[in-house]
């Protein structure tokens, strides 16, 4: 989906700020969230693709104002409710307040029927599909052409795996794009590599 999470290439944020010694986990509740969602995955309540999709389909304003671990918490709660582990009513009773969860989102899709293997050096184009459900394609590469650098091993196809749709695992391709092609007249000259699932690509 073209949701709020898809920030790559968005303008207006200014320079990326970073601290070399930034802590990954700050508050105790963040450590607890991390442990609880990891536990839920271990117990088979949901998989990582479902987890990511549940974050992406948070109500946009909630998504933008929530911290990383609040998004994680929201995904965990959303999936526990949707999977019938607990009701939202029980969570809100225990939390003594409202507990916002994500929006329903769109169904998944199986592998693209015309997908094919690629080799290093192949020129490929990212398909101009608009997928309402989960997709691991950043919007800034849609319709763009690049060169395959290498193939990586197969993993569950996220568009399907995030929604319980049967699909074959797919390889990803390290595709090299020119920044001038991605953002004409708006970026420093650079080569940008993106790992792209097989179903997102077609031969040029």
Q: Applying CB under 8 A, which residues contact another protein?
A: 5, 7-8, 16-20, 22, 24-26, 29, 31-36, 38-39, 42-43, 48, 52, 55, 59, 61-71, 73, 76-77, 80, 85-86, 90-92, 94-100, 136, 138, 152-153, 155, 172, 195
CA dihedral 153, 159, 162, 165 (to 10 degrees): -100
Question: For the CA atoms of 123, 169, 7, 75, what is the dihedral angle to 10 degrees?
Answer: 180
Q: Residue 175 forms beta bridges with which residues?
A: 148, 194
Closer residue to another protein, CB minimum distance, 97 or 184:
97
Q: Which is nearer to another protein, 118 or 172 (CB)?
A: 172
Rg (CA), the chain: 19
Nearest distance, CB of residue 141 and another protein, angstroms: 11
Shortest Å, Cβ 115 to another protein: 17
Rank residues 61 and 114 by Cβ distance to another protein and give the closer one.
61
Helix 68-82, helix 48-56: angle, nearest 10: 110
Quick check: helix, strand or coil at residue 60? helix
Query: Taking a C-beta distance cutoff of 8 angstroms, is the pair 45, 85 a contact?
Result: yes
For residues 159 and 89, is the Cβ–Cβ distance under 8 A?
Answer: no
CB of 162 to another protein, least distance (A): 13
Q: How far is the CB of 46 from another protein (least distance, A)?
A: 13
Residue 166 or 191: the one with the smaller Cβ distance to another protein is: 191
CB of 36 to another protein, least distance (A): 6
Give the tokens for residue 143: 């319709």
Query: Of 64 and 166, which has the nearer Cβ to another protein?
Result: 64
- Of 157, 153, 145, nearest to 181 by C-alpha is 145
């Amino acid at each position: 989906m073209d949701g709020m999470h898809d920030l790559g290439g968005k303008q207006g944020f200014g320079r990326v700020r970073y601290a070399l010694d930034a802590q990954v986990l700050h508050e105790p509740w963040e450590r607890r969230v991390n442990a609880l969602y990891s536990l839920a995955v271990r117990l088979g309540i949901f998989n990582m693709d479902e987890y990511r999709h549940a974050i992406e389909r948070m109500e946009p304003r909630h998504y933008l104002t929530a911290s990383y671990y609040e998004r994680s918490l929201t995904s965990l709660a959303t999936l526990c409710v949707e999977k019938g582990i607990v009701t939202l009513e029980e969570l809100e009773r225990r939390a003594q307040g409202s507990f916002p969860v994500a929006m329903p989102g769109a169904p998944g899709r199986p592998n693209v029927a015309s997908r094919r293997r690629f080799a290093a050096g192949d020129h490929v184009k990212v398909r101009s599909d608009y997928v309402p459900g989960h997709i691991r394609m950043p919007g800034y590469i849609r319709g763009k052409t690049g060169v395959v650098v290498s193939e990586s091993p197969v993993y569950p196809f996220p568009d399907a795996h995030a929604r319980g749709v049967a699909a074959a695992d797919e390889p990803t391709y390290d595709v090299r794009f020119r920044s001038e092609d991605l953002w004409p007249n708006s970026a420093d000259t650079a080569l940008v590599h993106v790992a792209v699932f097989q179903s997102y690509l077609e031969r040029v």
